[in-house]
Homo-oligomer: A and B are copies of this chain.
Amino acid sequence: MSRQPKLSVHDLFKEYDGAPVLERVNIDVTEGAFCTIVGASGCGKSTFLRMLLSQEQPSRGEILLDGAPLPEEPTPDRGIVFQRYSVFPHLTVWQNLILAKEFEQAPLTGRLFGSARKKARDEIGDLLERIGLTPATDRYPAQLSGGMQQRLAIAQALVKRPKILLLDEPFGALDPGIRLDMHELLLGLWRELSMTIFMVTHDINEAFKLGTRLLVFDKVRHDPQAPEAYGATITYDLPVDKTARQKKELAETLLHDRPDSA
């Protein structure tokens, strides 16, 4: 690793109301890495992503982006899909998707009109198709199912083509078929743009399939009397190798033909 890491985290601590959530987190991530994060529910994965996004500040320690301290506020080079997927409730599906382009092209009004608007709408036609929301183009988020909202949130983050993408259980509410489509979409963009991705997931399959690096968050110290006394940290940091991939593919094949065989 002679290259400067894209992102490095030094001795990060985070506590809420005095209760530590994360402690002594250290990690260097090179550009283009796809880090999947797994860990027990409530151990601080989302908190970690929130700090990478600058939504929250660490209690101690520092995060460096390209060698410089992380900006103190969210910036367009870091995209996010929240765990409780949130899209803009006052915009319809396609309006949600062209928003990033509007911000970019119309600094003053933040809004495209006429042919520019039509062009932007046409440009997202393909994306809409790939996330399966073409029939819902003109609906408001409140009129979508959970999975549809989640797909919209993912697409919205991808549209901006961020350098760093933070995904918090992005595929949790999707059925396997659509999930595969979304994997394709994500991997395609990842390769194309050499994004650096952090993705929290509870699906170990997915973690192995997508990631180049697997981070496991867990508590190293545990006081049975005071279960809250210690925070979690990165306990395993595994490069995902061939064998594991092959194993996973085997597992997948087995799983895949089951519904039909039954």
Contacts and interface: CB of A to CB of B under 8 A. Distances in A.
Given A205-B255, A254-B254, A255-B204, A38 B146 contact: no
A204 B176 contact: yes
Given A240-B262, A247-B258, A251-B254, A175 B202 contact: yes
Interface stretch (A39-47, A54-62, A108-116, A158-166): A39-47
Given A254-B251, A258-B244, A172 B172 contact: yes
A107 interface: no
A106 B38 CA distance: 43
Contact of A147 (B42, B47, B146, B261): B42
Contacts of A146: 41, 46, 83-84, 169
A132 interface: yes
Given A175-B39, A227-B134, A262 B250 contact: no
Contact of A144 (B42, B178, B241, B258): B42
A173 B42 CA distance: 10
Given A42-B144, A173-B41, A241 B262 contact: yes
B204 A259 contact: yes
Nearest to A45: B145
Copies of the polypeptide in the assembly: 2
A42 B131 CA distance: 12
A238 B216 contact: no
A93 to B, nearest CB: 12
A147 B172 CA distance: 11
Chain A interface size range = 35 or more
Interface string A130-154: 0010111000000111111011000
A182 to B, nearest CB: 10
B145 A175 contact: no
A41 B85 CA distance: 15
A41 B202 contact: no
7 contacts: A16-B143, A38-B259, A41-B173, A146-B169, A172-B173, A236-B259, A248-B258
Interface of A: 16, 38-42, 44, 46-47, 83-84, 132, 134-136, 143-148, 150-151, 169, 172-179, 202-205, 208, 214, 216, 227-228, 236, 238, 240-241, 244, 247-248, 250-251, 254-255, 258-259, 261-262
